[in-house]
Structures are given as structure tokens and as C-alpha cells.
Amino acid sequence: MIRNVEVMVIGGGPAGLCAARAASEAGAHVLLLERDDVPGGQLVKQTHKFFGSERQYAGDRGIFIGQMLVKEVTEDPRIEVMTDATVLGMYEDGVVTVLKDNQHLKFRPKKTIVCTGAAEKFLTFPNNDLPGIYGAGAVQTLMNVGGVKPADRVVMVGAGNIGLIVSYQMLQAGVDVACVVEAAPNIGGFLVHAAKLRRAGVPIRTGWTVKEAYGNGKLEGVILCQLDEKWQQIPGTEVDCPCDTLCLAVGLTPLSELCWQAGCHMEFIRELSGHVPITDENLMTSVEGLYAAGDVSGIEEASSAMVEGRLAGYAVAVSLGYDVERAQKEVEAARAELVELRSGPMGGKIRAGLVKVAEKRGEAGC
């Protein structure tokens, strides 16, 4: 049996929740699929306050924004939320297969919004599979969702926002943060997060990397070393740093495998951190009726993911003929918000990436 669905939203993170809410608010019926047992995505573990403006809930903590969005979406009679449901495949004929409670389900959505987010990048160095080496996401889940102290003494790799924020949260959890190492010559994240760490006495070593990890059966320490301008390790700069945990926050990459499967025109865009579907101004991919919003179409902050979700949700509503005039105004308002969010110096990278997306639109037929 193939079940017909008006709007399918894949992923219940910030983009997916906002996409579902927008499409439904305009009048469409939505099926929201979430592979975890609760919706909310990364918001469920984000205990820090958000930036941006009021419309993106600035000043609120991620976890509360998530709870508010989840409440609205689950109470919405036009939205069905299906948890523990993983999309397995997207086929050329428009059928989407889903694994739910060990059952292989089939759907045929009229419109689909892919909001699958991102995956963490990994680093290659000797002994990088020792127990005690984690991605920052796992450490944050252990602490902020599971209530587990993840380490006694940690070395953090990466001084982007995730590395800085998770390091600070580990300090709050009573973990000794030995240092933050960052391969780039500068701190990538917001300086307000870096300043909190520095005030607590945590060194941030820019231009450094992990040369190797060591330990007998589990991590016992790492050898750090300095990098030159060409990112090559400088012999003789090695420092031994004992620790029981190494946390990798070396960036995210779009989790765009469903877009590949569906046959979307994909491009590797460095500034967007990986392979992304080329989308038009409504966030529709080169496949008719298939949209992509949030980190899957380029790594950014959760604030922009929420606005992109809203944009795609209203754009889908317009394409289905729901409340067209007002929904179109919402689409345009979301576009303007995105321009504003990306306008500062921190938005330079994403702006450069989006210029490349726009250049590829002709080729992609968007």
C-alpha cells in the first residue's frame, strides 16, 4: 500500500519544524518524519542562548525554542508527527520509503521538504579510533540530554561555535578542559563564546592540530603540534597533552544523501561545507516539488535553518494553492530575514556560497 501525502517534511529539527508549521498554517496537511524518538533535532541539547533578532527567538535558549516549536507542531491538527521513522529511499517515481517500527512503509508525497540537517566531519590521525575520541555532538548529547559527565579531562579540537560552546558546557559540567586547538590561524566562532573560555583560563591554541592520539585500549593522551601557513605540521613543536577524552568539533557537512537519491542536481560548494542540492529562490531543488531547507542545503546557524524552513513551508503552500497571497508575503518576508541574518561579517562565507548556488541554477535547471 502506498499512502498519499500532501506535504512530507523529512527531519524534525529547526528547519523541519518551521517548514511543517508554515505549510500547515497556510492550510496544507503535513506529515513530519523524525528518525529520533523525539523531534527537535540539535535544539534538544542546545542550552545556550541564540543570537539574531526577535523573529528568530534571539535571547532564548535553543532547548526552549525547540520545545515551543515541537509543542506547536504536535498540537497542530493538520500536522502528523511520526517519530522513530527513518526515510530509507527516494525513488524516481516520487515514492518515499520509510522504516518505522521495523515496518517498511511507502508514501507518495505531492511536495517534499528535505530538512535532514548535517553530519559531523571526522579527522584522520594515528589511533583516531581509540575509545574516548568523540564528535562534539555525542559529547553534548551525553551531557545535556543524558545528564552524564562525559570526561574528566578533555582536549577540544575546533574553535568554531560548536567547539567553543561545548567546551564551555563541559566546564560547567565539571570537566577539566585542557585546551582548545584550532588548525586555522583564527578563532572561527563568535568571540563572545571564546571570551568565556579564556576568562575561565582555558587556552585556545590557534594554528595547532592533533598529531596523534595514544593509549592502551583507551585514550590516555594526545600529541599536539603546530602548523605552518601551508597547514603542514612543524617538526619539533610537539606537546604531550594527557587526557581521557578528545572531542572533535571540526565542522559539519550537509546530510544530503536523499537529495542525491532523488536525482537532484548536486554541487560541491566549499563555503557551504559539502555537497548541496542547487535550489531556486523558493528553496526548490532541480527535482519538481522537492525542496531543501536548513543545513542540508549549506551549513549555517539554527536561526537561518528556522527561517529557511519557514520559507520552504510557505513556498510549498503557495505551489499547492493555499492562501496564496498571504503565504507569498510570508515567503518574501523570510527571504528578507535571511538577507539580514547573513549580512554581518560572519555571513561572508555563506554569502559567497550562495553566489555559487545562484551561478549553478542555469545548469541545474532551477
Partner 1 sequence: MADKVIICRCEDITREMILQCIEDGYQTIDEIKRVTRAGMGPCQGRTCRLLIAQELSRAYHVPMEEVLMSTFRPPTKPISMGALADAWLENHEGEEAVSGQAVAPKPEEGGAAE
Which range of residues in 114-122, 183-191, 231-239, 334-342 is near partner 1 by CB under 8 A?
114-122
Q: b/e map of 121-146 (b: 16 or more CB within 10 Å)?
A: bebeeeeeebebbbbbbebbbbbbee
Kindly state the cell numbers that stand for 129: 579510533
| Residues forming beta bridges with residue 226, ordered by sequence position | 208
Binding residues for partner 1 restricted to 94-113, rule: CB under 8 A: 97, 99, 102-106
128, 141, 282, 328: residue in contact with partner 1 (rule CB under 8 A): 128
Q: In the bound complex, what is the minimum distance in angstroms from residue 126's beta carbon to partner 1?
A: 4
Indicate if the alpha-carbon torsion angle 158, 159, 160, 166 is positive or negative: positive
Which range of residues in 21-29, 145-153, 161-169, 269-277 is near partner 1 by CB under 8 A?
269-277
In angstroms, rounded to a whole number, what is the distance separating the alpha carbons of residues 61 and 1? Answer: 42
Q: In the bound complex, what is the minimum distance in angstroms from residue 287's beta carbon to partner 1?
A: 14
- Letters for 292-331 (x = contact with partner 1 by CB under 8 A, - = none) are ----------------------------------------
- CA end-to-end span of the chain, whole Å? 32
Does 61 contact partner 1 by CB under 8 A? no
Q: Residue 88 or 324: which CB sits closer to partner 1?
A: 88
Residue 364 CB-half CA count within 13 A: 23
Applying CB under 8 A, the site for partner 1 has a residue count of 37
Which range of residues in 55-63, 194-202, 266-274, 312-320 is near partner 1 by CB under 8 A?
266-274
Residue 215 CB-half CA count within 13 A: 21
Angle formed at CA 224 by CA 126 and CA 132, multiple of 5 degrees: 55
Does 83 contact partner 1 by CB under 8 A? no
93, 129, 229, 240: residue in contact with partner 1 (rule CB under 8 A): 129
Q: Are 154 and 176 in contact (CB under 8 A)?
A: yes
DSSP characters for 307-318? HHHHHHHHHHHH
Which range of residues in 14-22, 68-76, 127-135, 237-245 is near partner 1 by CB under 8 A?
127-135
Q: In the bound complex, what is the minimum distance in angstroms from residue 313's beta carbon to partner 1?
A: 23
Q: Residue 78 or 275: which CB sits closer to partner 1?
A: 275
71, 149, 270, 351: residue in contact with partner 1 (rule CB under 8 A): 270
51, 64, 125, 190: residue in contact with partner 1 (rule CB under 8 A): 125
In angstroms, rounded to a whole number, what is the distance separating the alpha carbons of residues 126 and 237? Answer: 17
Q: Are 137 and 117 in contact (CB under 8 A)?
A: no
Does 127 contact partner 1 by CB under 8 A? yes
Least Cα distance to 346 among 168, 165, 186, 140 occurs for 186
Phi (first) and psi of residue 15, to 5 degrees: -70, -45
What's the chain's length in residues?
366
Q: In the bound complex, what is the minimum distance in angstroms from residue 323's beta carbon to partner 1?
A: 34
Does 231 contact partner 1 by CB under 8 A? no
Q: Residue 58 or 122: which CB sits closer to partner 1?
A: 122
Q: Residue 260 or 332: which CB sits closer to partner 1?
A: 260
Binding residues for partner 1 restricted to 17-56, rule: CB under 8 A: none
In angstroms, rounded to a whole number, what is the distance separating the alpha carbons of residues 199 and 326? Answer: 48
Q: List contacts with partner 1 (CB under 8 A).
A: 1, 86-91, 97, 99, 102-106, 119, 121-122, 124-129, 212, 253, 255, 257-258, 260-261, 266-270, 274-275
